[in-house]
Amino acid sequence: MNQAQPPQAPLHQQQLLQKIEARTATVGIIGLGYVGLPLALAVCEAGFGQVIGFDIDPDKIHALRTGGCYIKHLDVSRVQQATQSQNGQKAPLEVTADYSRVTDVDVLVMCVPTPLTKHREPDLRFLINTLSAIQPHLHKGMLLSLESTTYPGTTEEYLVPLVQLQKLTVGDDIFVVFSPEREDPGNKQFPTASIPKVCGGISQHCLAAGSAFYQTVVNQVVPVSSTRAAEMTKLLENIHRAVNIGLVNEMKIVADKMHIDIHEVIDAAATKPFGFTKYTPGPGLGGHCIPIDPFYLTWKAREYGINTRFIELAGEVNRAMPEWVVSKLMDALNERGKALKGSKILVLGIAYKKNIDDARESPAIKIMELLRSKGAEIAYSDPHIPTFPKMRDHRFELSSVELTAESVGGFDGVLLTTDHDKFDYPLVESASDILIDTRNRYQNSAKIIKG
C-alpha cells in the first residue's frame, strides 16, 4: 500500500524559496515604527541586500535617509549601517512612501497600527488603507505576512479577499501568513532575532513559505496550524499579562487598605519555586499591546455569543488605576490642608515603561488628564521625551522639566509614574514635599507614599 505523498510545491513557491535561501529576495516592510524598523534592521543583518521600508510619515523617511533614528532605544549605528552606503556598496535598506514599489518585492510584511476606537472596538483603518494601497501591486510569487495584532479571522477576512480580487490563488500564486510581532521595546536581553516567531498560514504551502522567510531572520520559528491559531496566540500572550496585572493591581488596593506592603507580599510569594509567576502593580497599563489586545478578543467573542467577563473585569481594574493614584495624591494634599485644584503637580515619566521614549497608551498621560480636569497645574519630567508628543487623543503643550532641588521643591506634589533609570532619585526624595511612588522605586523610605 503506497503512502500518500505530500503535494508538490507549486512553481511560484519553489522560486520564492530559492530567493529566500539565497538572500536575493527583495523584502518590503510596511510601517517603520517600534515593530517594523527593528524587523527591517534584523532582515538587513540576516544578509538580505534589498530591503524596502514603507511609511507614510515624511519625518520618519527623512530621519532614516539622513542616518538618524527616531526610536531612541535602537542603536543609531545599526540604522546607519542599513541605510547608508558602505565602501561604495548600495545600502541594503531603502525607505519610501511610494506603495507602487510593492511591485518589486518578493516578501511583504505589514506592521501597521491596530488601535481601538473610543468604544473599545477594533480600529482597522490603518490596515484597510494599507491593503487598498498595495492591492494593485500584488503579484505572483510573493509572500504576504501580517504582523499587526488583531482578532482571529482577520487574515482570512481581509487579506485573502484582497488577493482574490487580483485574480491570484492563495497557496499557488501567492502565499499568505500571519506571524504576530513580539517586540519588547528597550529590552536588550531579547532583540528581534532572539525572539521565537509564531507563524500560521492559509495553507501548508503558505506556511512553508512564511517559515522559510522567518527562519532566515530569527533563531526559531514556531509553526501553528492556521492563521487563526497564530492570531489567537498573540492575544493569549497579552491577555495573560493583562489579567495578572489586573489581579496584582486589585491586590494592591486591598493591601493598601489593610496597611500591608503589597511589594513585600509579592516578593515573598515569588520565593515559591513552582506555581507562581511574579507580576508587579503599577499606575495602570500602557503600550501598544496589553491595554488594547484583550478587547480585540472580547469584540470578536460577542459574534459567537460569548461574554469574556474575566478579561473585561481585568480591563476595568487596570483602567481604574489612574483614578486610584490621583485619589492617593488628593488624600496626601488634604492632610496638608491643600486642595488638588490649583496645586502644582509634577509627573515623573510619561513613557509607558522605563527607559524608552514610547508614550502610547501610557497611564501617566491618563493621570495628567485627570489632574488637569480637577484643576491642577501640571508639569512633567521625562529624560526620554523632551517635548510632549503629538497624539490623536491627548494634547498638552508641555516640555520636560529639568530636575533640580529648586524645581522639584516648587511643586506641591510629585507623582513617580515611570521609573526611568536616568532620574536622580535621591534629589527628588529630598526636595519633594509629597512624593507618590507608583513603581516601588523607593523601597525603604518612610517619607514616600505608595501609589
- Active-site annotation, residues: 289
Distances (CA, A) of 95 to 48, 135, 310, 358: 15, 20, 43, 22
Q: Give the span between the Cα atoms of 297 and 380, in whole angstroms.
A: 35
Helix 262-269 with 227-257: angle, nearest 10 deg: 130
Q: Give the span between the Cα atoms of 401 and 354, in whole angstroms.
A: 17
